[in-house]
A and B are shown apart, each in its own frame.
Chain A
Amino acid sequence: MAKKIVIVGGGTGGTIVANLLARNLRSQISGGKIVIDMITDKPYHIYQPGLLYVVFDRMQPEDIVRNQRGLVDPLVNVLIDSVLNIDRDNKKITTETGHNFNYDYLVIATGSRTVPELIPGLAEGAHTFYTLDEAKKLRDSLARFEGGKVVISVGVPHKCPVAPLEMTFMLYDYFRQKGILNKTEIYYTYPINRVHALEPVSNWAVQEFERKSIKYETFFNMERVDPDKKVVYSMEDTQVDYDLLIAIPPHKGSQVIETSGIGKDGWVPTDKVNLNNDKYEDVFVVGDTTNIPISKAGSTAHFESEVIAEIITSRISTGFSLRQYNGKVLCFIESGFDAASYIWFDYNTPPKPTAPSKMLHWMKLTYNQLYWSTVKGSL
């Protein structure tokens, strides 16, 4: 009887795990000893960091979208369907169209989604940039914008913790190039008592804010938005008015995680080094889906994917694995249209942002293309 590996989700983490497993187990899959199934609800795959560039017309929508099947090794069976239930005790997955999958190993890669509805008025009053449609809508609004107060307000939790800063710095460069900086105020709010979760990044960003006359307010957690009055109210009893509001909405994990009784708010309880779910040693969790208190970012999913693929491969061949995840994350930070910084850190190493440079910006632009090789498991 063939061993069955099921991957639920076709984002960065799910796709990399699928491709690495196909590469590691090629002969056993070809020989019918192993079957890998991927179930994903979207026939396409978006390079999500590219949305930031779509907003500023620096990448086109078609640059950041690929057909999902084309990214996955042909040895992996891909089913485009929604998963209705994950039954870990009986090792069974049920889909919306009535397919049932049993598994020996399961990889949950169901990702995260924005939930603006948690903050009354946010969906009506704010722009966001977490889907292609939202990014295009913001791009169109920026094209019409001729000055006023732009507020960037950050919700909790959210993925890609550096994206709000990147958005702010790119807005600055956009308004400067458009010649409307002198009649535009940029105002940034952040939930904790600094402008980024990482203190070294915050210290660097504050210097940039002050140099660019970007105003900011900390300890600001959006509670509600009045789209008619154009005001954002905070849990801390302060308020900010705006002409254009760009919000980073709070995020949740996938609904199926909640309906299957696996984790609150769609986040899966995950061992931070072994990457398995609670007592289930055959259920692995990757990317935004985990409840590990680290960045929900593509690079996190990438590094976790490598570990999970190696653990499953070793477990199949030897019955055990020595591999563990050390919390590694690496992020570029665009500091405008022509310079970028970067940070890396892990569970034991704090981040140290490097000075922004054109070289790092070019590396980021190069990575925007190399992503397609990463997700295929080639990098």
Chain B
Amino acid sequence: MENVSIDQSIDARGSACPGPLMELIRAVKSSKVGTVIEVLSSERGSINDVPSWLDKVGQMLIGIEEVTSHWRIVVKKVK
């Protein structure tokens, strides 16, 4: 994922409410097709919640990586 160019970054670390997935949904809705969005989350649940939602709405998960005390989830809006 190091070579992926990020268009928008959401630092949702420490964000209890509305939380990383809600922030991602907001970003996906307001972005153009082709936008690559990175979400930084300190919630372990995000590594399951985000892929589940992407699967339901047909958007692309580029990858997930654990970085020290948080997770970096990279997503592409494809439709």
Contacts and interface: CB of A to CB of B under 8 A. Distances in A.
Interface of A: 118, 156-157, 161, 191-193, 197-199, 219, 221, 235-237, 250, 264-265, 272, 293-295, 327, 329, 345, 347-348, 350-351
Interface in B2-56: 10-12, 14-23, 25-26, 29-30, 45, 49, 52-53, 56
A192 B30 contact: no
B52 to A, nearest CB: 6
Interface of B: 10-12, 14-23, 25-26, 29-30, 45, 49, 52-53, 56-57
Nearest to B12: A293
B73 to A, nearest CB: 14
A347 B14 contact: yes
Contacts of B25: 156, 191-192, 221
A221 B24 CA distance: 12
B18 A161 contact: yes
Contacts of B45: 199
Contacts of A351: 16-17
A348 B18 contact: no
A235 B18 contact: no
Contacts of A157: 18, 22-23, 26
Contacts of A236: 56-57
Nearest to B15: A293
26 contacts: A156-B22, A156-B25, A156-B26, A156-B29, A157-B23, A157-B26, A161-B17, A191-B25, A192-B22, A197-B16, A197-B17, A197-B22, A219-B52, A221-B25, A221-B57, A235-B57, A236-B57, A250-B26, A250-B29, A264-B30, A293-B11, A293-B18, A295-B17, A327-B14, A348-B14, A351-B17
Given A156-B25, A156-B29, A157-B26, A197 B56 contact: no
B41 to A, nearest CB: 10
Contact of B19 (A192, A221, A237, A264): A192
A230 B76 CA distance: 33
